[in-house]
Structure 1
Amino acid sequence: MSVLASVALFVAAALAEIGGAWLVWQGVREHRGWVWIGAGVVALGLYGFVATLQPGAQFGRILAAYGGVFVAGSLVWGMVVDGYRPDRFDVVGALVCLVGVAVIMYAPRGG
C-alpha cells in the first residue's frame, strides 16, 4: 500500500472518529437527541473498521500513529465545524504530532 493510500485511510478514520464523537457530543451536550447519538455510535464503529485497513499487523504502532492524526484532525474539525481558532501552540503541537506519525508509520525499517 502506498503512503498516499495510508494517509487517506488515516483521514477517513479521523473523519469517522472525530465526527462520531462530535455527533454524540451534540446529542448529549446540545440536547439534539438519540438520533444524533446513534449516528455518532455508528460513525465510531466505522472508525474502528477503517483503522483495520491500514497496512501492517502492528495494532499498537498503527493506533499510536493515528493518535497524532487525531490531534491534528480535531483541531481542523474545530476550526471548520465550530469556528475554533487555534493559537500558535496548538498549531506547533499538531505539527509535532504529524511528524511523529510520519516517523512511526513511514520511516524505513531494516529487516
Structure 2
Amino acid sequence: MIKSLFYFLWAGVFELGGGYLIWLWLREGKPIYWGICGGIALAIYGIIATLQPANFGRVYAAYGGVFIIMAMLWGWKVDGVAPDRYDLIGACLSLLSVLIIMYARRI
C-alpha cells in the first residue's frame, strides 16, 4: 500500500508540474522550453502510472481522487488560493474513494 501511494504521489507531482509548465508557457508567455519540459513531465507521469499493481481502470479511477487532493494542495501552495471547507470536504471524500477503490478487500 505504501509503494502504491508513493506512485500516486509522484504521478501527481509530474502531472501537475507538467500541466503547470505548459500553462505558464501558453498563458503567461514563458519560453517554449517550459512547454517542452511540461510535455516531458506529462510523459513521465504516464510511465509512473503503469508501475501500479492494479489494472488500468482501477488505477486511473483511484488516481482521480489523488489528483483532486494534490490539485487542491497545489492551488493552495503554488497559486496561493486556500481551500475552503467545501474544498476540504470534497478532498476528504475523494481520499475515502481512493482507499475503497484501491485497497478494499476483494471477494
Computed over aligned residues only, the root mean square deviation of the Cα atoms, in angstroms, reads 0.6
Query: Which residue number corresponds to residue 35 of structure 1?
Result: 33
Identity %: 46
* Over 2 Å off, 4+ runs: none
Normalising by the residue count of structure 2, what TM-score does the alignment of the two structures yield? 0.97
Q: CA deviation at 1:80?
A: 1.2
Q: CA deviation at 1:79?
A: 1.1
> 1:2-81 counterparts in 2 under 5 A?
3-56=1-54, 58-81=55-78
Query: Which residue number corresponds to residue 103 of structure 1?
Result: 100
Normalising by the residue count of structure 1, what TM-score does the alignment of the two structures yield? 0.94
Q: CA deviation at 1:33?
A: 2.0
Query: Which amino acid in structure 2 is aligned with residue 18 of structure 1?
Result: L
* Distance across 2 between alignment mates of 1:16 and 1:22: 10
Query: Which residue number corresponds to residue 85 of structure 1?
Result: 82
